[in-house]
Amino acid sequence: MRLKLVPSDTSIDFLRHRRIAFVFSLLLVLSSIGLFLSKGLNLGIDFRGGILIEARNSTGPADISGLRRNLESLGLGDISLQGFGAETDILVRVQRQEGDEAAQIAAIHAITASLGEAYDVRRTEFVGPTVGAELAEKGLLAVACALLAIMVYIWFRFEWQFSIAAILALAHDIFSTVGLFALTSFEFNLATVAAILTIAGYSINDTVVVFDRVRENLRRYKSYEITDIINKSLNETLSRTVMTSVTTLLALGAIAVFGGAVLRDFALAMIWGVVIGTYSSIFVAVGFLSRFDIRHQEPDDGVEVPETERS
């Protein structure tokens, strides 16, 4: 007996709901942009500069409120103190200090001294303002270049309408992921940028699989309506789409639960990305594609109808 989350012969009319999906996606993207502009991102020290110290109490559970009083008395400005993973572990984040780099180093000294002997410092990260700005710039550049390369590749392999639809879907995924980070105030750091790029890779992967099938079916069923071809393609690839999403989610779930506190946020962002990427491949990318008159654009390039059709 095989486990089948999707029955073999589905014929779901995905495009019938494209108007609802379109409105939903539009609202999602607009509210993401709105949240980003109004609430902003909780930028980590990677981009904003600042200090992060992870420490473990060797004598028992961490006394967070006591530590907070001590740390706040240091007068280092905005300090965030939280438990991290185990109950003995804490994470201290301090905003960028006034003054030059030496002032930052002095602040690290002050914090480790304030934690006292019982606390074993496990991780110290300090990013100066110059480096923070550079990392932000590099992160943006990486995302922009990756998007551009993907767009060019899709354009090269498919028609321009596919390329535009794919990029719209990708932008949808990236905006809504950024929106999620603005909404939840999860820390947005270098790992988040890596997660976003991986989400982009996963989402485009998913989109390409559907596009490949649409292109194939366009050639095979020349007399069909475009919406029928698209619906047929979506149904034919649905089983694979679900299968791959589930295996990827299983792997990510393992990282989120067992991979330790450092990787948890990364895995959670990716899990969201897999869900939104799968949704956007079906409803955004293919939804837009269905609005283009792709049949006229599909040149008769002498591609043979696959032999299966002749049998």
Which residues, numbered 48-67, are part of the site for another protein (CB under 8 A)? 54, 56
Comparing CA positions, the residue from 279, 302, 262, 285 lying closest to residue 125 is 262
Using the rule CB under 8 A, is 109 a contact of another protein?
yes
Please give the C-alpha separations between residue 12 and each of 7, 42, 89, 163, 231, in angstroms, as whole numbers. 11, 40, 50, 25, 7
Q: Which stretch binds another protein (CB under 8 A): 22-30, 218-226, 250-258, 292-300?
A: 250-258
The mark string for 156-195 relative to another protein (x by CB under 8 A, - otherwise) is -x--------------------------------xx-xx-
Sequence-distant (6+) residues with CB within 8 A of 56 are: 62, 86, 88, 89, 90, 119, 120, 122
CA-to-CA distance for 276 and 203, rounded, in angstroms? Answer: 8
Using the rule CB under 8 A, is 43 a contact of another protein?
no
Shortest Å distance, C-beta 150 to another protein: 5
Shortest Å distance, C-beta 24 to another protein: 25
Using the rule CB under 8 A, is 248 a contact of another protein?
yes
In the bound state with another protein, the residue whose beta carbon lies nearer, of 183 and 242, is 242
In the bound state with another protein, the residue whose beta carbon lies nearer, of 18 and 132, is 132
Q: Which stretch binds another protein (CB under 8 A): 59-67, 143-151, 217-225, 226-234?
A: 143-151
Please give the C-alpha separations between residue 197 and each of 111, 178, 238, in angstroms, as whole numbers. 35, 12, 24
CA-to-CA distance for 51 and 284, rounded, in angstroms? Answer: 40
Q: Is the distance from CB of 176 to CB of 32 less than 8 angstroms? A: yes
In the bound state with another protein, the residue whose beta carbon lies nearer, of 30 and 262, is 262
Q: Give the position of tokens 């932008």.
A: 171
Shortest Å distance, C-beta 16 to another protein: 24
